[in-house]
Amino acid sequence: MRVGIQISGRGSNMQALVAACATADFPADVALVISNDPSAAGLEWAAERGIKTAAISHKGMEREAHERLMDAALVEAGVELVCNAGYMRVLTPWFVDKWHDKLINIHPSLLPSFPGLDTHVRALEKGVRWHGCTVHYVRAPVDEGPIIAQAVVPVVAQDTPDALAARVLKAEHELYPIALKLVASGAAPVVDERVMLAEGVVPYSVCHPGVAS
Ligand code: GRF
């Protein structure tokens, strides 16, 4: 399956997906890395490795007009599945519908808890004991959509938002390739707005309390 990865910044999740796609028998290839921010560090990283990249700035454009340019670049690259990896723009219903069930996202919380921004600060404020990340199919409401896979990390007594974010990010890098493999191999179909996994498929990875960072 030809994958397009949408980023806005450093692109560490994109790097994890690129590494996974380079492994033997992985059912996906990265056809394009695309950013709304031409200065995104992840673009340079991908280009240096010979991956096709595109930068399409959203500045001074209507949201949908920008998305139509992003969409055209994805289509031109033959992309069949779009992976949002730190893509920081809210998508319009037009784009979400165009890529229905062919557009996935990673979010740094255990959805449906803590949609939106500043998830680690809010998790600490609520005093949750477990936090984590979610890969889900994208629907028009932000951070909603059928859940493909989740990873759980502990919240420890001395945690700061940065320490917790680092622990979750490590889990993200494990989880996103697991989720992409499920989707690209056809093992995560959406039925009645829930992902129905085949029997025996394990849709998560867990970082145990012994993991300090
Ligand atoms: C990740 O935590 C992702 O879940 C969130 O933004 C961050 C992006 O990091 N949406 P990176 O660009 O993948 O390093």
| Best mutation site among 6, 7, 12, 107 for ligand 1 pocket (most ligand atoms within 8 Å of CB) | 12
**What pLDDT does residue 198 have?**
81
Terminal CA-CA length for the chain: 33
Question: What is the pTM assigned to this prediction?
Answer: 0.95
**What pLDDT does residue 202 have?**
77
Say if ligand 1 is within 6 A of residue 85 CB: yes
82 contacts 99 by C-beta, under 8 angstroms: yes
**What pLDDT does residue 213 have?**
47
C-alpha Rg value of the chain to the nearest Å: 17
Q: Between vectors from CA 87 to CA 151 and to CA 161, what angle results, nearest 5°? A: 50
* Among 107, 120, 131, 136, the one annotated catalytic: 107
Cα(128)–Cα(107) distance, integer angstroms: 17
Cis ω for the linkage preceding 27 (within 30 of 0): no
Cα(49)–Cα(36) distance, integer angstroms: 20
Q: What is the mean pLDDT of each run of 10 residues along the chain (213 residues)?
A: 98 98 97 98 98 98 98 98 97 98 98 98 97 97 97 94 96 96 96 91 65 49
Structure tokens at 142: 């932000």
**What pLDDT does residue 52 have?**
98
